[in-house]
Amino acid sequence: MTQSLPPLRLGIAGLGTVGRGVVRILQTHGDLIAKRAGRAVQIVAVSARSQKDRGVDLSAYAFEADPVALAQRPDIDVFVEVMGGHEGPARHATEAAIAAGKDVVTANKALLAHHGQALALAAEARGRVIRFEAAVAGGIPVIKALTEGLAGNQMKRVMGVMNGTCNYILTRMEATGQGYNVLFDECAKLGYLEADPNLDVGGIDAGHKLSLLSSIAFGTQVAFDAVELQGIQNILLDDIHMARDLGYRIKLLGVTQMTGRGLEQRMTPCLVPADSPLGQLQGGTNMVVLEGDAVGQVVMRGPGAGEGPTASAVMGDVIDLARGTRVSTFGQPASTLTVAVPAKAQAPSAWYLRMTLLDKPGALAKIATCLGEAGVSIDQMRQNGHEGVHAPVLIVTHKASPADIADAVARFATTGVLVGEPVALRIEEV
C-alpha cells in the first residue's frame, strides 16, 4: 500500500485580485484539487500590505506583513507571488524564497522579463523551479503548451494579442464610435488599467509577455530590452473607421521569430484582416498563435486577465508541483539558453499611412514624391475632406520594407506640408 503524500503547503504574497482568486479556488475546490493532484494543497500563510477585509475568509492562515518573512517560513513548500512589480518586495521575496529552497509560482511578467535569467539560474542551483503560467495571457495555458505539449517542435513563430485592455479599447472604439481618451477613462473606472497605465496602452505589459514566450520558443535568454514597442495612444477613431472600410481591424499585435539575422520581437499596432481569428477578437480576450515545424499552427484563445482566469493559471502550476511535475523555468535549463542577436523586422508588407497635410497646392504631390524616392509605391490614396486649413490623407502602400517606410516618413518631415506626426501601421496578412 502506497503511503499518501503530505500536503503541499503554500504561502501567498499578495491579496489583490489574483491572490483572492487563488484563495477562493482552494476553499471551493479543495477536495477536487486533492484528487487531481494526488495530495492535499493547503494555504499556510499569506502576506499583504494590510489585514483589511478582502472578501474571503483568511482566519485560518498565518499573516506576515513582510513578504520576505513569508518566503522564508519553514512551513511552506511553494511561494506564490502575486504582488507585481519587477523591483522591491516582489523581487526581494522571490529571491528569498529561492534561497530558502522553495519552488515559486508567480503571475509577475515584469519580474521575469527583467530578472528571469538570474532567477532561473538561482532556482536551478538549488534544485527549485519557477512556474509562471499566470504571467502570460491570463487563463490561456500557453506556457504549458510551449514547454510541454509542443516541446518536440522547432518553433517558427509566435504571435498574438496579449493585452486585454488595449484590445478592449480598440474594439470599443469601433463598436461605440467613442474616441481613445473616452475609453481610456472608462477602463480606468472599470479597474482595467495597471497602476501605471502606460504599461498597458504603451505596449510594455504585452512586451513583457512576448519576451517570455520568445525565450521559451527559441531557447534564448529573456531580452525584453530588445522588444520593439509601440503603444496605441496615437490611434484615432478615424483610423479605426478607415481600417474597417479597407476590410481590416487594428490590433496591438506581438510577433516574435528567429531569422538568419537574429531574433525579431515586436509589439506594435497592426492592421489584420477583419475576418481572421485575430480580427474577430473582441473585448478583453487574448489570442496566441504558435507555429511549429511539426504541428503547424496552433491557435489558443481565452480570457486574458481577471480574478478567475489568472487564479486558474496559478493553480494549474501549483497542481503540477503537487503532482511532482517539474519543468525548467523557460523549458530548458537556464544555463543552456543562448544570448540572441536582436534583429529588426525586414520582411516587406503593405502599410497603412495616415497623416494630416496643409491644404495647399502641391502638398500631396510632395508626399507622393517622398514615397517614390524611398522606393515605396502607392496602392490606394484617400483624402477625407478638409479640417479648415488641414487635409487628412490616407495612403495604403504596396509591399515595402520597414526600412523603406521609415525612410519615407523621415522625408515627409522635410516637405513643410506635414501637420503633426504621421501614423504608419503594418498590414499583417495573418
Q: How far is residue 73's CA from residue 83's CA, in Å, rounded to a whole number?
A: 18
**Cross-strand pairs, 390:** 358, 387
A 10 A CB-CB count for 151 gives: 14
Q: 173-184 as b/e, with b when 16 or more CB fall inside 10 Å?
A: bbeeeeebeebb
**Torsion angle, alpha carbons of 181, 351, 161, 295, to 10:** 180
Q: How buried is residue 294: exposed, middle or buried, by Cβ count under 10 Å (0-12/13-18/19+)? A: exposed
Q: How far is residue 175's CA from residue 188's CA, in Å, rounded to a whole number?
A: 19
Q: How far is residue 84's CA from residue 96's CA, in Å, rounded to a whole number?
A: 16
Question: CA neighbours within 13 Å on the CB side: how many for 340?
Answer: 29
E strand or H helix that includes residue 80: strand 78-81
Q: How far is residue 200's CA from residue 304's CA, in Å, rounded to a whole number?
A: 13
Note whether 364 and 370 are within 8 A (CB).
Answer: no
Among 312, 299, 349, 351, which Cα is nearest to 159's? 299
* Contacts of residue 140, Cβ cutoff 8 Å, sequence gap at least 6: 286, 288, 300, 301, 302, 303, 304
Angle 154-109-140 from CA coordinates, rounded to 5°: 60
- Three-class secondary structure of residue 305 per DSSP: coil
Among 355, 348, 354, which Cα is nearest to 374's? 348
Catalytic residue among 209, 251, 360, 399: 209
Note whether 131 and 321 are within 8 A (CB).
Answer: yes
Active site annotation includes 209: yes
**Torsion angle, alpha carbons of 15, 285, 190, 310, to 10:** 0
Cell of 404: 523603406
Q: How far is residue 131's CA from residue 150's CA, in Å, rounded to a whole number?
A: 17
Q: How buried is residue 133: exposed, middle or buried, by Cβ count under 10 Å (0-12/13-18/19+)? A: buried
Active site residues: 209
